Structure 1
Amino acid sequence: MTSHLTPYLGFRDDARQAMEFYQSVFGGELTLGTFGEMHASDDPDEADKIMHAQLVAPNGFLLMGSDTPNGMERSSTSNISLSVSGDDAEDLRRFFAALSEGGTVIEPLTVAPWGDEFGMLTDRFGVTWMVNVTGDVARSGADEGVHA
């Protein structure tokens, strides 16, 4: 048997826009289901809101999310960050650049004290991302001056 841990992001009325944005960054197939389609709310204001979204990217990433129903409080994500790491420097640098569009770069993507290339940002939907390019690939990219 196998178990998986999957990030599930909660939004306030902009889950569709956020998940379409993540699809533009990571690629893949996005499935969206609204509260209305799933008969999950009697509130007509929620009919077009996203009850469940799932993005399956070609590289195996799985990201889920939804709009928070009107009657529920949406908690802050300030204590949660999503981390994307690996040795595909080109993809990771592209992810960092795309995610930072309209967002705030907390730490630029640069060689960190542990030798990897690391950067941190908060995207335009308030989600914090950490991007880490591992080992020799990071150091060779730093020599070439390739950073977001």
Structure 2
Amino acid sequence: MGTRLNPYIAFKDTARPAMEFYRSVFGGELNVSTFREYGDTGPNADNVMHAQLETPSGFTLMASDTPEGMPYEPGSSISISLSGDDGDELRDYWKKLSDGGTVTMPLEKQMWGDEFGMLTDRFGISWLVNIAGDHSGDAASG
């Protein structure tokens, strides 16, 4: 495997349901390890130490619960972007991610020719979805 870059999301006691939700959106294989598996016997031992979702589309999403005593700030300083030209797939992700969440900009055609939208899912994570439009007539493409 070469080098890869992927999001790693911190949650506060909701990493497992969040990652199960993302698996329901994107499909794939989810592996979850708890703090208990590595010797923790405290009250949060069953929280997620590390979770990794590998999807059929090649996405990798990682997450964990923030351990007690560490500061937690919900995902307000980062957004996860999904983009491509498979409109049906991206609209399906949009529909699933927005269920129980808040749409901040509807997924619709934009001035640059793509469909674009923004939402915050039910776990407080911001998502950007961009579906490439037909730019064959653009001056820059000729």
Provide TM-score, normalisation by structure 2: 0.91
Identify the residue that residue 140 of structure 2 maps to in structure 1.
none
Count of matched residue positions in the alignment of Structure 1 and Structure 2: 135
Deviation at residue 79 of structure 1 after TM alignment: 1.8
Does the aligned pair in 1 maintain the 2:74–2:124 contact within 8 Å?
Answer: no
- The one-letter code of the counterpart of 2:113 is G
Return the alpha-carbon distance in structure 1 between the equivalents of residues 59 and 2 of structure 2: 16
Aligned Cα RMSD in Å? 1.4
* Residue 101 of structure 1, aligned match among 99, 102, 107: 99
| Residue identity in the other structure for 1:9 | I
Provide the C-alpha distance between the structure 2 equivalents of 1:121 and 1:26, rounded to a whole number of angstroms: 16
Aligned to 1:145: none
Candidates 116, 119, 122, aligned match of 1:118: 116
SS of the aligned residue for 1:46 comes to coil
Q: Which amino acid aligns with 2:49?
A: M
1:79 corresponds to which of 70, 74, 77: 77
One of 127, 130, 133 as aligned partner of 1:132: 130
SS at match of 1:32: strand
What is the distance in 2 between the residues matched to 1:78 and 1:47?
26
Q: 2:138 is matched with which residue? A: none
CA shift for structure 1 position 2: 3.1
* Equivalent position amino acid for 2:54 in 1: V
Q: Which residue of 2 aligns with 1:13?
A: 13
Alpha-carbon distance in structure 1 between the residues aligned to 2:63 and 2:23 = 12
| CA distance in structure 2 between the partners assigned to 1:71 and 1:79 by the alignment | 21
Q: Distance in 2 between matches of 1:93 and 1:70?
A: 37
SS at 1:72's partner residue? coil
Partner residue, 2:32: 32
CA-CA distance at 1:4 after TM superposition: 1.2
Give the partner amino acid of 1:107.
Answer: M
Q: For residue 71 of structure 1, what is the amino acid of its counterpart?
A: G
Task: Give the fraction of aligned pairs with identical amino acids, expressed as a percent.
Answer: 57
CA distance in 2, matches of 1:48, 1:103: 26
TM-score normalized by structure 1? 0.87
User: What's the CA shift for 1:62?
Assistant: 0.3
Q: Where in structure 1 do 4 or more consecutive aligned residues deviate above 2 Å? A: none
Q: Structure 1, residues 66-93: CA drift from partner, whole Å, max 9, x if none?
A: 0000111112321210000001110100
Structure 1 residue runs of 5 or longer lacking an equivalent are 138-148
